[in-house]
């Protein structure tokens, strides 16, 4: 087993750490379709449990209220519903959905920063790395990159299309954070 250095990266002996392209001719940058596919897979990993929790909240967690007859001013009775809405079970399920969504998002950012791959990226064989070091960016840089995706969305989501024509296949967020997505 390779020795661990204080930096957390293993000692790979005379061969050195795995090298990832950091630019230049022949760099194995990941294509746009692989990036979109990985994002969709990661969205499903978090979205399906959250969707199930919300569906349960709005089916099991609804209090239908009580039907009553109310006397109107003209002396007739009118059926009406009193109460209703989301009950305690519904509130608990919605809170659980929010918690699962948050935890899933933090997990994906952690994986992207720590090893460069979310489950979706791993399935499609791509990896996020720092352009300057060729290594995973770390949690805080990956979190910053997520916030920089706001810039990708501002001009009608054009920033997400940049990998289609950019030489390094970077989004605007990648350019801001000096990151690249490469084939693993």
pLDDT tens for residues 62-98? 777 667 777 788 878 787 766 667 888 889 999 999 9
pLDDT at 80: 76
Range of the domain at 43: 29-183
Residue 12 domain-assigned (yes or no): no
Question: In sequence order, which ranges of the chain are alpha helices (DSSP H)?
Answer: 32-60, 88-114, 119-124, 139-153, 172-177
pLDDT at 121 over 80: yes
Residue 5 domain-assigned (yes or no): no
Q: What span, in angstroms and rounded, lies between the C-alpha atoms of 110 and 37?
A: 19
4-8, 90-94, 112-116: the lowest-pLDDT one = 4-8
Q: What span, in angstroms and rounded, lies between the C-alpha atoms of 177 and 139?
A: 13
What is the pLDDT of the chain when averaged over all its residues? 84
pLDDT at 165: 92
Write the pLDDT tens digit of every residue in 135-159: 999 999 999 999 999 999 988 899 8
Residue 9 domain-assigned (yes or no): no
Residue 3 domain-assigned (yes or no): no
pLDDT at 24 over 50: no
pLDDT at 25: 41
Task: Encode 104-129: b = buried (16+ Cβ within 10 Å), e = exposed.
Answer: beeebbebbbeebbbebbbebebbbb
Running DSSP on this structure, what letter comes out for residue 116? S
Whole-prediction pTM: 0.74
Half-sphere exposure of 35 (CA within 13 A, CB side): 17
Residue 17 domain-assigned (yes or no): no
> Which backbone phi and psi does 154 adopt, to 5 degrees?
-60, -55
Enter the tokens of residue 160. 């997400």
Number of structural domains the chain divides into: 1
Averaged pLDDT for residues 44-50: 96
């Amino acid at each position: 087993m390779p020795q661990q250095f204080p930096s957390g990266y293993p000692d790979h002996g005379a061969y050195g750490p795995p090298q990832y392209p950091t630019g230049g001719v022949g760099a194995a940058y990941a294509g746009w379709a692989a990036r979109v596919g990985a994002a969709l897979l990661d969205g499903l990993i978090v979205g399906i449990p959250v969707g199930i929790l919300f569906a349960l909240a709005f089916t099991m967690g609804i209090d239908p209220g009580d039907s009553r007859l109310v006397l109107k001013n003209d002396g007739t009775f009118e059926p009406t519903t009193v109460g209703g809405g989301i009950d305690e079970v519904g509130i608990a399920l919605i809170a659980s959905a929010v918690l699962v969504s948050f935890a899933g998002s933090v997990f994906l950012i952690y994986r992207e920063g720590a090893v460069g791959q979310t489950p979706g990226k791993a399935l499609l064989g791509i990896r996020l790395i720092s352009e300057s070091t060729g290594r995973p960016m770390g949690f805080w840089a990956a979190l910053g990159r997520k916030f920089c995706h706001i810039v990708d969305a501002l001009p009608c989501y054009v920033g997400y299309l940049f990998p289609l024509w950019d030489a390094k296949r970077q989004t605007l967020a990648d350019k801001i954070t000096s990151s690249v997505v490469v084939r693993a």
